[in-house]
Amino acid sequence: TRSVVLGCGSYLPERILTNAELAAKVDTSDEWIVQRTGIKQRHIAAEGEFTSHLAIKAAQAALDDAGIDAQSIDLIVLATSTPDNTFPATAVAVQAALGIHHGAAFDLQAVCSGFVFAVATADNFLRGGSFKRALVIGAETFSRILDWNDRGTCVLFGDGAGAVVLEAQQGWGTSVDRGVLTTHLRSDGRHKSKLYVDGGPSSTGTVGHLRMEGREVFKHAVGMITGVIIDAFEASGTTPKDIDWFVPHQANKRIIDASAHKLHLAPEKVVLTVDRHGNTSAASIPLALDTAVKDGRIKKGNLVLLEAMGGGFTWGSALVRW
């Protein structure tokens, strides 16, 4: 059994916040942000526009792309660190909005690695036979947890959502050559204070703001990312030459370039959206996937390598035959 991709979709809030607008609020510049991160703009959710609203639009787009009815979905795994509420899970808001009353829906929290963790989780449930069709969603409104006076972090993030539909397919033949081939997940809580939110229901009773030691994150990122990708190559018997598209978590162009270079992945195989989306945490990979599928780059049968690293630290890779 393989978890085969049936479709994908994404949604970005209308409002675009440019570097120039940010430079009018905090002591920064377009040059600094572009040079250090590659980010030129990001989308920001409107007042009253919640993570679930972005997720529902991305999920509906993915269902339309797959050409299937919402009623055939029996599992929703939604990766987010910015849920609508502490509980219930944002996934059940999506489930209700889609009119689904069967199966299971839950959130998963692995910060920027959330989508890779969610794909791995759904894949295991599908291959294990517990569910048949899954919506895997990454959705975030990081604008709500940013300290807009901290120039070291507020310039980096944006809001958005993306989703894929996975289906358990059995048997021999061309269909099962496609699908999720391997997933590798890692975490190391010794790094938990390098990137965190200084609030929460149990500690402060407040929502809190994102805090980050940017240099420390940068220092660990490339090694962790390349390590878990090498694990994917070894487990699947593939090499960098076999990869058609590298779709990394979009945190920072310098981290992506350095990782691709170290792995000998050609720059023209790298899907980049960080310039337009900023870092949308768990949403960045499905947003980038949907961008590259809809503009015709990623085609059925392509070998697609996903990778992410984020708070925790958490990191992971997924190799998918699209």
- Asked if 236 touches ligand ACO (CB under 6 A), the answer is no
CA distance 215 to 218: 5
Residue of the chain from 88, 152, 199, 208 that contacts ligand ACO (CB under 6 A): 152
Residues with Cβ within 8 Å of 248's Cβ and at least 6 positions away in sequence, in order, are 225, 256, 259, 260, 270, 271, 285, 288, 306, 307, 308
Q: Please, what sign has the CA dihedral across residues 121, 126, 129, 132?
A: positive
Task: Name the catalytic one among 43, 209, 249, 277.
Answer: 249
Active-site annotation holds for 154:
no
- Asked if 215 touches ligand ACO (CB under 6 A), the answer is yes
Q: Which of 290, 251, 274 is nearest to 114 (CA)?
A: 251
Residue of the chain from 3, 82, 143, 252 that contacts ligand ACO (CB under 6 A): 252
User: How near is the Cβ of 40 to ligand ACO at its closest, in Å?
Assistant: 13
DSSP string for residues in 120-142: HHHHHHHHHTS-SEEEEEEEEEG
User: How near is the Cβ of 287 to ligand ACO at its closest, in Å?
Assistant: 14
72-101 binders of ligand ACO (CB under 6 A): none
Residue of the chain from 63, 155, 161, 260 that contacts ligand ACO (CB under 6 A): 155
Q: Which residue type sits at 77?
A: V
Residue of the chain from 109, 143, 279, 314 that contacts ligand ACO (CB under 6 A): 279
Residue of the chain from 15, 127, 218, 244 that contacts ligand ACO (CB under 6 A): 218
DSSP string for residues in 216-229: HHHHHHHHHHHHHH
CA distances in angstroms from 293 to 58, 67, 169, 287, listed in the order given: 14, 15, 21, 10
Task: Name the catalytic one among 112, 154, 184, 209.
Answer: 112
Active-site annotation holds for 279:
yes
Residue of the chain from 30, 32, 186, 275 that contacts ligand ACO (CB under 6 A): 32
Q: Which is nearer to ligand ACO, 11 or 315 (CB)?
A: 315
Q: Please, what sign has the CA dihedral across residues 172, 307, 69, 78?
A: positive
- Asked if 223 touches ligand ACO (CB under 6 A), the answer is no
Q: Please, what sign has the CA dihedral across residues 63, 68, 70, 74?
A: negative
130-149 binders of ligand ACO (CB under 6 A): none
Residues with Cβ within 8 Å of 273's Cβ and at least 6 positions away in sequence, in order, are 250, 284, 287, 288, 291
Task: Name the catalytic one among 8, 191, 209, 279.
Answer: 279
Active-site annotation holds for 302:
no
Residues that bind ligand ACO (CB under 6 A): 28, 32-33, 36-37, 112, 151-152, 155-156, 195, 212, 214-215, 217-218, 221, 249, 251-252, 279, 309-310
Which residues participate in catalysis according to the annotation? Answer: 112, 249, 279
